[in-house]
Copies of this chain bind each other. A is one copy, B any other.
Amino acid sequence: MPNISQRGQIMPPSPIRKLVPYAEAAKKKGVTVYHLNIGQPDIETPQPVLDAVRHSTFKILDYSHSAGNESYRRKLISYYKKFDITVDHTEIIVTTGGSEAILFGFMACLDPGDEVIVPEPFYANYNGFATEANINIVPVTSSIDTGFALPPIADFEKKITPKTKAILICNPNNPTGYLYSRAEMEVLKEICLKHNLFLFSDEAYREFCYDGENISAMNLTGMDNHVVVFDTISKRYSACGARIGAVVTHNRTILDSVMKFAQARLSPPSFAQIAAEAAVDLPDNYFDAIKAEYQSRRDTLVSLLNKIPGVFCPNPGGAFYAMARLPIDDADKFCQWLLESFSYEEQTVMLSPATGFYATPGLGKQEVRLAYVINKESITKAMKTLEKALEIYPGKI
């Protein structure tokens, strides 16, 4: 029997999904599991977005342009304009989800062995895409004590080597919910210009900002050849299953290269591009109610968390995640124990251990990520359940 590749062996499994069997077992026992572990929004996909597909009349489900339908890309110009991002349709390549945008960016800009600096904790799947592209993620640690603010410039510079090709941020951040300030974005610009690095900016949660304004990397001046934005409609329109994202950049060399990766896989999904195009036409006030709902959930979650003895949760400015420090020995053990050995009034809570979001071994052992993608009533019950759990957890410290 032939051996599979080293790459296929070291490819990291999803750190979030490993708890799924325990959740399934809990449910089989009749326990209600509050899912605070995944970023699947419970908000309904806007009706006009689904209707655009359901009312379509084409006869052949054919390939689209490899860069995505031109009509969709032209519409996106007006979408980005609302965020003071000026691009034309040739500066947007539609991808199969934000996932593919990240992979294309890695492959077009970095060679095997090259390094990308990422503030940790970070979105765990970056590890997977780095393994696929045979590049190395070099973490710069941000701390829960500062609310996960951008680490000092010196911390970045300590990590820069001749192999460093890029810095990757996620703004607003998954998993921390941190929203980078204009001053922090200017710091990133300074580092990238000084050391001639690309700035990759994952802006999946652009709409979800509660305290302050979202500064896109595309808003930085003098960075046209450095900035590459990874975008997606997944969270924006509760359309995770569409698998529609985009690479957005002014850098023509990158666009030409990404286009070759896009041609190899022929085209992004056709049904979902119809949905995505319809979404651009949603009224500007569509996000008002959604944002108000998430902000209110955040306020409830953060306030209840901080009332639990020994728990600290900085107030996240964006996205729909919060990171909390708990008085526990080991987040992985605790999250499994919650599902396997605990219930309160036949309820328990599914959380993401933060260890999967850190690249530095040993970090995040007292932290968990909570996604506030369930309604406030459920959040309130979940926090009561968590409080009760922490009272009796054997590994409490």
A contacts, CB < 8 Å to B: 1-2, 4-9, 11-14, 17, 40-45, 49-50, 53-56, 58-64, 66, 96-97, 99-100, 103, 107-112, 114, 125, 128-129, 132, 134, 165-166, 196-198, 225-226, 238-243, 251, 253-254, 257-261, 263-272, 275
Contact = CB atoms under 8 A, between A and B. Distances in A.
Given A40-B62, A109-B2, A243 B257 contact: no
Contacts of A125: 263-266
Contacts of A264: 11-12, 14, 99, 125, 128-129, 132
Given A4-B253, A11-B261, A264-B132, A269 B61 contact: no
Given A4-B257, A17-B66, A96-B269, 8 more contacts: A2-B165, A5-B107, A5-B110, A14-B264, A45-B59, A61-B238, A240-B266, A272-B272
B54 A56 contact: yes
Nearest to A166: B2
B111 A7 contact: yes
Nearest to A273: B241
A256 to B, nearest CB: 9
Nearest to A14: B263
B61 A241 contact: yes
A124 B268 CA distance: 19
Contacts of A44: 59-60
A196 B44 CA distance: 51
Contacts of A251: 1
Contact of A128 (B56, B165, B225, B261): B261
Given A5-B108, A60-B45, A96-B96, A271 B257 contact: no
Q: Which of A56, A265, A268 has the most CB of B within 10 A?
A: A265
B4 A108 contact: yes
- Ranked nearest first, the 6 interchain pairs of A and B with the lowest CB-CB distance are A241-B270, A128-B264, A8-B257, A271-B271, A8-B108, A99-B265
Contacts of A42: 60
Contacts of A263: 13-14, 17, 125, 128
A269 B257 contact: no
Name the residue among A240, A254, A264 with the largest chain B CB count within 10 angstroms. A264
Contacts of A50: 58-59, 61
A160 B306 CA distance: 63
Count of identical protomers in the assembly: 2
A100 to B, nearest CB: 7
A260 B12 contact: yes
A148 to B, nearest CB: 23
Nearest to A17: B263
Contact of A271 (B242, B254, B260): B242
A241 B260 contact: no
Nearest to A127: B264
A268 B254 contact: no
B2 A225 contact: yes
Contacts of A225: 1-2
28 contacts: A1-B196, A2-B198, A4-B254, A5-B110, A5-B111, A5-B114, A5-B257, A7-B108, A8-B107, A8-B257, A11-B108, A12-B260, A17-B66, A45-B61, A54-B54, A61-B238, A61-B275, A63-B240, A96-B265, A125-B263, A125-B264, A128-B260, A241-B271, A242-B269, A243-B267, A243-B269, A271-B271, A271-B275
B54 A226 contact: no
Nearest to A106: B5
A55 B51 CA distance: 10
Contacts of A239: 61
Nearest to A1: B225
A7 to B, nearest CB: 6
